[in-house]
């Protein structure tokens, strides 16, 4: 493991055995350490603290906007995925990569996040809980892209075979969408909270 001390005085560790290449925003190859330092220096432009990151990441539209803004600054999703491997967080969310770089927090596996979110299912009706449980299984298996707003029709079709059947079971589209988006905040609550 390579230890990289950042400006906050805390050390981040990267696996030196994982082969990957990073590029600076101007297209030059840079080391993983240089990428990490550059990213650490830029993240305060996107969020000031972990609560703000959590709030942004908990909603599909603001999460998508953050990823687009990071991409525009030269921190592409594929580079974030590469960084996830370097910090041995393959089973974690990209949120955990950002939180690790920005705040030196330990990554949490998606499975653990999903289990914690299930503890908040009491506010939902049984059919909604069944759907959310299905969504969480997709999230654990495939990652945060499963929580994107654009994925909702696919998830409904996969679970219920047709949108009309999903509406019959879960209620109108507005209700389904509010449930789908609303429960996501429980995935990113501080595990100690």
127-140: pLDDT as tens digits: 999 999 999 999 99
Residue 19's pLDDT is what? Answer: 66
pLDDT tops 80 at residue 38 = yes
Confidence bin at 165 (pLDDT 50/70/90): very high
Residue 8's pLDDT is what? Answer: 79
pTM of the predicted model over 0.85 = yes
Please classify residue 148 by burial: count the beta carbons closer than 10 Å to its beta carbon, then call 0-12 exposed, 13-18 middle and 19+ buried: middle
Residue 10's pLDDT is what? Answer: 82
110: Cα separation from own chain's centroid: 9
Identify the sign of the CA torsion 103, 109, 112, 114: positive
Query: Token pair 């449930």 is at which residue?
Result: 179
């Amino acid at each position: 493991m390579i230890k990289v001390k950042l400006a906050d005085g805390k050390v981040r560790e990267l696996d030196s055995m994982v082969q990957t290449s990073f590029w600076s925003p101007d297209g030059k190859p840079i080391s993983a350490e240089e990428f990490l330092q550059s990213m650490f220096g830029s993240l305060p432009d996107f969020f000031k603290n972990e609560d703000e990151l959590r709030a942004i990441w908990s909603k599909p539209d603001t999460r998508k906007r953050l990823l687009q803004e990071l991409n525009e600054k030269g921190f592409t999703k594929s580079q974030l995925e590469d960084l996830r491997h370097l910090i041995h967080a393959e089973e974690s969310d990209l949120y955990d990569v950002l939180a690790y770089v920005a705040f030196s927090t330990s990554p949490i596996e998606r499975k653990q996040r999903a289990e914690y979110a299930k503890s908040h299912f009491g506010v939902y009706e049984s059919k909604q809980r069944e759907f959310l449980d299905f969504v969480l299984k997709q999230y654990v298996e495939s990652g945060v892209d499963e929580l994107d707003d654009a994925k909702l029709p696919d998830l409904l079709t996969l679970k219920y075979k047709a949108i009309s059947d999903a509406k019959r079971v879960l209620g109108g589209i507005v209700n389904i969408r509010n449930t789908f988006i609303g429960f996501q905040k429980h995935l990113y609550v501080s595990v100690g909270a």
